[in-house]
């Protein structure tokens, strides 16, 4: 699985970082960065929670 972020939609709320700080980070300019786009299956639940709770719908989880 792979995580994608639409930086045009991201508003920097940081909810994703709160849910999974080892996966997501928010830069000083408010844009989200992903620590390794390919993630192990063990991270699925937290990533899916971050995708679902993103108020800007900027995150997506893509199956490889």
CATH of residue 11: 3.30.70.20
pLDDT classification of 6: cutoffs 50, 70, 90: very high
pLDDT reported for residue 31 = 86
pLDDT reported for residue 30 = 87
Q: Quick one: DSSP state of residue 61? A: E
pTM, two decimal places: 0.88
Grouping H, G, I as helix, E, B as strand and the rest as coil, residue 43 is: helix
- Dump pLDDT digits (tens) for 13-56: 999 999 999 999 999 888 899 998 788 999 999 999 999 999 99
50 contacts 1 by C-beta, under 8 angstroms: no
Q: Which domain holds residue 9?
A: 2-62
Domain count, the chain: 1
pLDDT reported for residue 54 = 97
Grouping H, G, I as helix, E, B as strand and the rest as coil, residue 26 is: strand
**Distance (Å, rounded) from C-alpha 21 to C-alpha 37?**
14
């Amino acid at each position: 699985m792979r995580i994608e972020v639409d930086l045009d939609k991201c508003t920097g709320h940081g909810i994703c970082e709160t849910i999974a700080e080892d996966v997501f980070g928010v830069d000083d300019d408010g844009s989200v960065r992903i620590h390794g786009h390919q993630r192990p299956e063990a991270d699925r639940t937290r990533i899916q929670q971050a995708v679902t709770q993103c108020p800007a719908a900027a995150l997506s989880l893509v199956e490889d």
